[in-house]
Structure 1
Amino acid sequence: MPPRKKALPRPLPEGWIVTDAEKRQWRLGKMIGQGGFGLIYLASPGTGKHDEDEAEFVIKVEYKENGPLFSELKFYQRAAKPADIQKWMQVKRLRFLGIPKYCGHGIVEFDELSYRFMVIERLGKDLQHIFEKQGKMFKNQVVLNLGLKMLHVLEYIHENEYIHGDIKAANILLGFKDSNKLYLADYGLSYRYSPNQIHKKYEERPKKGHNGTIEYTSIDAHKGVAPSRRSDLEILGYCMLHWMCGKLPWEQYLNKPELVLEAKTKLMEKLPESVTQISPHGAKCGEIAKILSLVKKLGYDERPNYHMLQKILLDGLKETQKDFNDFLDFSPVSEVEAHGYCLYNELKPRTTQLLTKKKYAEDECNKLTGSDRQYEDEYLIQQANDDQIEFSWRKWCLLLVFLIILIVIVTLY
């Protein structure tokens, strides 16, 4: 009897040899995990027995009739060819782009059942495991760095007419032998938003609503709208907010999707105040609020300004005196240490900070042309206004404190 579609497959025996479409043989090791519809095994090339602790590949297995692994396989074949990724990295001057390396695929028969399998490089622990272990809160600079690395991946995916569709900590994994490398994995819900360069039309389909991981899925997905580039960016914004604050405003409604949609809509409508209100004491979520504000303004089929989104996070990293390529420090810290600024930064003369920001912004603007400059100018104008308001507010507060002290002194003497 054929298996029920989308059922979790029966395990294959350890040591089983499978042959991919290129006639390469792979030996299955022990099973190390399972997803919604598939199993994951350690794997080694060839037929000989290998040290499993050093295995550098994994094999994902699903019943042939299932869809997620087929979708993931098509993504790798169409949009994630190693040569294309390498070329992109050279053009963008990136040292690394966090998309797992695809190694092969095939169909195997076992016990009168057909299985589809795909071979990719082995990865390490997932971010969800680390997030929970460290008390469900990451340092400010870690969140900004994570967001920046994921933005680079999303830009590449989107430029190849795909969206990821299910960004979350459980799908972001460290490298197997290099824990400072982060990969966005699991493309089972990946989707071609613009096949043949024709963007999908906006259409609300309530019967298909609330698809994806309920905590992070986009407002469009709640309404049954086909995912788009802005959906991926909205999901990433919610993830960053969770990593920074340790909670989301709709956590108590996860079994009631309509209330989750209502809470997300309210948050997006009242930006940036809505983000500030849920931020713990000392947290700096301004960058997340800015990113979500830009996402809110995006049209359904509009190309995001990735440069500006990345720059927002880069500016935040500069203020924490951290670099995009710095080692990711996932060590547990107190809430204040996680989100508070270094005291040294707070004691810097504010005018010096503003001049530094202005010089950096001018240098960046000189590199831009066309639509990038238009978006950049809007961002810089808003940033300058925010800085000026903050500076004026602090100046008048200090003057008021000085006057109060003066009055007290005169009264006493």
Structure 2
Amino acid sequence: MPPRKKALPRPLPEGWIVTDAEKRQWRLGKMIGQGGFGLIYLASPGTGKHDEDEAEFVIKVEYKENGPLFSELKFYQRAAKPADIQKWMQVKRLRFLGIPKYCGHGIVEFDELSYRFMVIERLGKDLQHIFEKQGKMFKNQVVLNLGLKMLHVLEYIHENEYIHGDIKAANILLGFKDSNKLYLADYGLSYRYSPNQIHKKYEERPKKGHNGTIEYTSIDAHKGVAPSRRSDLEILGYCMLHWMCGKLPWEQYLNKPELVLEAKTKLMEKLPESVTQISPHGAKCGEIAKILSLVKKLGYDERPNYHMLQKILLDGLKETQKDFNDFLDFSPVSEVEAHGYCLYNQHATTIKSVRRDIRTTQPVEKCLNESKTSLTRSRMVQNKVKEDLDAKWEEAKENENSLEKHKKYKKKNKTEENHFNKITQNLTKELKPRTTQLLTKKKYAEDECNKLTGSDRQYEDEYLIQQANDDQIEFSWRKWCLLLVFLIILIVIVTLY
């Protein structure tokens, strides 16, 4: 009888040989863990036995009918090709991008059951294990560095049309042989938010609400909305807040998802004050508040400004005098050392001296009073620095907005200028032959006009001569007529007399 779809698979025997789709053989070692629906084994290439302590690969196994491993496999095949990752690192000038290396997959039959398996590189401890071991609190610079590394991974997978959907400490693992490398693993809940470059529509589905790890899942997920890029960034913000403060405001409501949604909504509505209020004494959560504020303003299908988000964390690291590529120091520290007073050099000496005095013969009450005074001054300095940083941040946003407007205006003017020049060139090309033609016609018309003018003058001279002749003839006729009349009158007179 086939297993239920969401049941954990029956364990495969150690030493079992499986063959992937590329006809490569892999030997299963001991089982080292299990996820929600699958098992994880150490693995080595070939059929020979190898030292499991040095095994560089693992095999994830699920029943063939299950979905998470199939989704994870599709993510690696579509969005995590080694050549694409290497090209991205070169473009972004990154030394490392924390996506595990995919090595192969296949289907195997055992005990009349079908299993799907996937081979990836072996990773080390997960961040959740370290977080709990260190008292559920990380140093300020460690949290900023973790957030920055995860932002680089999210930018890459988002640009490849995928959402991780389940960011948490348990899914962030150290490298097997290099503990300074961090990987975002477990893409079983990965989701294509924009297949064929068409973003999924915003649609609330209450029956599918509250999916994911309830501590960190996004407000959209609580409402049953399909995950988006802003969902991943919101989840990362909650993770960083937990790593920095050691707690979240909704921890006591985890068995009541509606109250968790209400608490998250309240936190996002009252930023940045809501973050600073829940942070422990001295915790520097300004960067987390800024990131969540930017996420809050994002539209459902809007592309985040990854550069601005990364710059916030980089600026925070510079204040701690740490670099993005520095070694991650997970050593246990006190709350004060983790969050801050020692970041202000002018007060670090005072705090150390007070601690030294407490260990010596000075009265405890005096030492405590001096310690309180020092802490009060530190808070005043911290508030001043925070105000200055907020002012610089607002100024930077205004400058960036002005620069963007200038670029758009300049680009628009350039486009219009190019369009005008193109029209002018086209008109010049069209007018040139027409001008030549018109000049030719004009010359022809002038010649014709000159010809006509010469003919008119000739006709006018002939007319004047003819008119003169006619006038002379008319005058001669009149003269003879008058002479004749005079003769007749003379004859009559002579006759009468």
**Shorter-normalised TM-score: what interval?**
0.7 to 0.9
Measured in 1, the distance between the counterparts of 2:65 and 2:284 equals 47
Could you give the per-residue CA deviations for residues 52-99 of structure 1, whole angstroms, max 9, x where no partner exists? 000000000000000000000000000000000000000000000000
Could you give the per-residue CA deviations for residues 100-126 of structure 1, whole angstroms, max 9, x where no partner exists? 000000000000000000000000000
Measured in 2, the distance between the counterparts of 1:218 and 1:333 equals 31
Bigger mean CA offset, 347-356 vs 19-28: 347-356
Bigger mean CA offset, 204-213 vs 385-394: 385-394
Deviation at 1:381, TM superposition (A): 98
Deviation at 1:6, TM superposition (A): 1.2
Deviation at 1:206, TM superposition (A): 0.3
Q: 1:278 to 1:286 in 2, by over 3 A?
A: same
Could you give the per-residue CA deviations for residues 11-55 of structure 1, whole angstroms, max 9, x where no partner exists? 000000000000000000000000000000000000000000000
Helix, strand or coil for the counterpart of 2:452?
Answer: coil
Match of 1:280 in 2: 280
Measured in 1, the distance between the counterparts of 2:339 and 2:494 equals 40
Q: 1:104 to 1:199 in 2, by over 3 A?
A: same
Helix, strand or coil for the counterpart of 2:261?
Answer: helix
Q: Tell me if the contact between 2:166 and 2:217 (Cα under 8 Å) persists in the aligned partners.
A: yes
Measured in 2, the distance between the counterparts of 1:157 and 1:221 equals 19
Could you give the per-residue CA deviations for residues 193-251 of structure 1, whole angstroms, max 9, x where no partner exists? 00000000000000000000000000000000000000000000000000000000000
Measured in 2, the distance between the counterparts of 1:181 and 1:381 equals 118
Q: 1:34 to 1:372 in 2, by over 3 A?
A: farther
Q: Tell me if the contact between 1:307 and 1:372 (Cα under 8 Å) persists in the aligned partners.
A: no
Measured in 2, the distance between the counterparts of 1:384 and 1:130 equals 132
Deviation at 1:342, TM superposition (A): 3.0
Could you give the per-residue CA deviations for residues 110-169 of structure 1, whole angstroms, max 9, x where no partner exists? 000000000000000000000000000000000000000000000000000001000000
Measured in 2, the distance between the counterparts of 1:4 and 1:213 equals 23
Q: Tell me if the contact between 1:206 and 1:223 (Cα under 8 Å) persists in the aligned partners.
A: yes
Larger Rg over CA atoms: 2
Q: 1:302 to 1:86 in 2, by over 3 A?
A: same
Q: Tell me if the contact between 1:31 and 1:42 (Cα under 8 Å) persists in the aligned partners.
A: yes
Measured in 1, the distance between the counterparts of 2:176 and 2:480 equals 53
Helix, strand or coil for the counterpart of 1:300?
Answer: coil
Bigger mean CA offset, 332-341 vs 120-129: 332-341
Measured in 1, the distance between the counterparts of 2:475 and 2:229 equals 36
Q: Tell me if the contact between 2:19 and 2:108 (Cα under 8 Å) persists in the aligned partners.
A: yes
Number of residue equivalences: 413
Coordinate RMSD, CA, aligned: 34.1
Bigger mean CA offset, 362-371 vs 262-271: 362-371
Q: 1:271 to 1:363 in 2, by over 3 A?
A: farther
Bigger mean CA offset, 119-128 vs 374-383: 374-383
When normalised by structure 2's length, the TM-score is 0.69
Bigger mean CA offset, 400-409 vs 61-70: 400-409
Q: Tell me if the contact between 2:320 and 2:343 (Cα under 8 Å) persists in the aligned partners.
A: no
Could you give the per-residue CA deviations for residues 276-330 of structure 1, whole angstroms, max 9, x where no partner exists? 0000000000000000000000000000000000000000000000000000000
Q: Tell me if the contact between 1:33 and 1:39 (Cα under 8 Å) persists in the aligned partners.
A: yes
Deviation at 1:369, TM superposition (A): 70
Q: 1:202 to 1:29 in 2, by over 3 A?
A: same
Q: Tell me if the contact between 1:64 and 1:115 (Cα under 8 Å) persists in the aligned partners.
A: yes
Q: 1:348 to 1:91 in 2, by over 3 A?
A: farther
Helix, strand or coil for the counterpart of 2:103?
Answer: strand
Q: 1:301 to 1:252 in 2, by over 3 A?
A: same
Percentage identity across aligned positions? Answer: 100
